[in-house]
A and B are shown apart, each in its own frame.
Chain A
Amino acid sequence: MKNTDFKALSNHMGGVSRRDFMKYCSVMAVGMGLPIGMGAQIAEAVTKAAKRPPVIWFSAQECTGCSEALLRSTHPSFEHLILDLISLDYHETLSTPSGHQAEAARAASIKENKGKFILVVDGSIPIKDNGIYCMIGGKTALDILKETSKDAAAIIAIGSCAAWGGVPSAGGNPTGATPVHQIIKDKPIINIPGCPPSPYNFLSTVLYYVTFGKFPELDKLGRPKFAYGRLIHENCERRPHFDAGRFATEFGDENHRKGYCLYKLGCKGPETYANCPTIQFGDVGGGTWPVGIGHPCFGCTEGGIGFNKPLFTKANLHLVTPPDTYPHIVEQQGKGVGASLGGVAVAAAAAGAAYAAVNGVVKKLDKEEKGK
């Protein structure tokens, strides 16, 4: 039942009913691969929290794409996240205050929540020339990161730039762009790479932390396994075309129109870990991810692949699996080189025998016989 009493809405935070809240908690839980009953647990943890967990969002060499992606999330919506679930105490793009007031808000939040706030970092940190290539409020990004992370409980590095360097680190890395985990070594760091990553990878991680007080299982690059545990190749809807050897070779050709595999157009799916084929982007229906709309994946989540490997260079296959073909009971063998070599051998032997006959080897033997 839609609530049409607009005056009462202001009391009812964000206009979300309990049912919707429970629903999205369940969706969150399922999205992380947790049992559906966990949705209730998440809801309870989040609402019963004495205080909304404080979050400081620090932006360095970023394009704001990660924040933009988050703004477009619907479950939970961004306003629900920052008004009801977490206390976003500092965010350069979304702050109401700016300048000194914003910096003061950050300092105050750090002081009040020493050791308890989550530091979210997007953008890479330039370290060349003492880090002058990114400065906020007169301080280098490097210094701000170091001083803020000192008192953080944990750090979430959102986006490829913060996770492994991203765009600023490509093309020779003129600014010395560095990911967070190579600067801060003494705090737990979760990397959520992607350019931008699906906002739900970030949101699920945050809600998991709020509910259980610990981070979800991470792989050896510090990425949550529920989102980055599988290659795109393993979940791609065009995988049967790969296995059957049906490829598009040019943009717009017949096979491309038929939706065949984009491996030969340089798709990096076979060497990129992400969950794009599963959750896709934008909640606007099916096929809303690069491969789904006909463009090969370029590996935005993988350091060394995204922005480094040329777009149309073929990916290396990590898992080589059997295709959609079968060998026959008896396969033809021994054709080609083997047969022709045999023929050469026979001919050579015949020639040798002829030579021997002509050049008197046999004659010599005859002489010996007569000598007896």
Chain B
Amino acid sequence: MEIKRRDFLKVAAAGGLMVAANAGPALARDAKARITGAVGLLYDSTVCVGCKACVSACKQYNETPPSFSSSDELWDNPLDNDSKTYNSIKLYKDGTAEVKDREKDGHAYIKRQCMHCVDPACASACPVSALKKDEKTGIVTYNKDACIGCRYCQLACPFNIPKFEWEKAFPEIRKCELCSHRLKKGEIPACAEFCPTGACVFGPVEELLAEAKKRLTYKPGDSEMYPVERVNGRQMTERMVVPYIPRVYGEKEGGGTQVLYLAGVPFDKLGLPDLEEKPSAQQSETIQHTLYKGMIAPIVFLGGLVYIVHKNTKDE
């Protein structure tokens, strides 16, 4: 097929002008705002002792089987979240790992589960809206009947949370859904209820954020009251404050999440990616909307190609 350079440049310019004409701030998709009354978790790595009661409780109340990673198959010891593990505790170790929550020669724990983002990339990427953000609680829920198994959500999630059931004949996507089946009964997520130290607390995100910011103002070495189970509940435990990294992870990252983190060790060392404030869902949808607005650009582009091909095809 012969395309004259001149013709090609003509079509490309025309197309570009078309796009430029249509593009503008009106197309940029706005970032989603936090839902008032949304619920989430606050995980404080300095309070966590790595007991893994949350891992056990999550398996128990979601009725998921154990994940074996040793040949004995004696313990539930997943190496990472997988199709049977929605929540896992991981260990950060450096050097001698002597001191807890210290970056050098120290160790720290991190809890990994779905972040229930304010502007979830998985829900944006899903072509059939199997992953949806609940309007009231903000929980990102999964509808197995809508899912087509394309796994775009796995590609989209910056935290690598949705897990595909490779081992099944009729696979689903598996991830934490903040125990919505328990919330319906007036209970709280199992990981928050069973955490003995109060490392994982549940509550409305506004209150969790307020509590997290309050903790950042505490003086290391002071004794303060930390809530257990619920952030606004009556159960409290007194503990000594440990130096925090001065940031609430999840306040703004990726547009904000409903699961917030506090730690004494830099978040990237704990496996939490350094995301910019603009959610990827917003960026990708902006590009999509720009390119496909009114279907003008596609029609022009394809029309142009058809024209060129037609011009260069000799009737034989």
Contact = CB atoms under 8 A, between A and B. Distances in A.
Interface of A: 242-243, 245, 263, 317, 320-323, 325-331
Interface string B103-142: 0000001100000000000000000000000000000000
B65 to A, nearest CB: 8
A263 B73 CA distance: 13
Given A321-B56, A326-B90, 19 more contacts: A242-B74, A245-B74, A263-B74, A317-B74, A320-B66, A321-B76, A322-B75, A322-B77, A323-B75, A325-B75, A325-B77, A327-B77, A327-B88, A327-B91, A329-B91, A329-B110, A329-B269, A329-B270, A331-B80
A329 B90 CA distance: 6
Contacts of A322: 52, 55-56, 75-77
Contacts of B12: none
Contacts of A243: 75
Contacts of B89: 326
Nearest to A329: B271
A241 to B, nearest CB: 12
Contact of A320 (B75, B88, B92, B93): B75
Interface string B79-97: 1100000001111110000
A243 B78 CA distance: 14
Contact of A321 (B50, B75, B110): B75
Contacts of B70: 245
B63 to A, nearest CB: 13
Contacts, number: 50
Contacts of B269: 329
Contact of B92 (A242, A263, A329): A329
Contacts of A331: 79-80
Nearest to B72: A245
Interface residues of B, number: 25
Contacts of A330: 271
Interface of B: 50, 52, 55-56, 66, 70, 72, 74-80, 88-93, 109-110, 269-271
Most interface-central of B55, B74, B78 (chain A CB within 10 A): B74
A323 B93 contact: no
Contacts of A325: 75, 77
14 contacts: A245-B70, A263-B74, A320-B66, A320-B75, A323-B77, A326-B50, A326-B91, A327-B78, A327-B79, A327-B80, A329-B91, A329-B92, A329-B110, A331-B79
A322 B75 CA distance: 6
B69 to A, nearest CB: 8
Nearest to A322: B52
Top 5 closest A-B pairs, CB basis?
A326-B91, A323-B75, A320-B66, A329-B271, A322-B52
Contacts of B80: 327, 331
Contacts of B110: 329
A252 to B, nearest CB: 22
B27 to A, nearest CB: 38
B151 to A, nearest CB: 17
A243 B52 CA distance: 12
B297 to A, nearest CB: 34
Contact of B90 (A263, A320, A321, A327): A327
A328 B91 contact: yes
A331 B88 CA distance: 13
A320 B76 contact: yes
Contacts of A242: 74
B195 to A, nearest CB: 14
Contacts of A327: 77-80, 88, 90-91
Contacts of A323: 74-75, 77
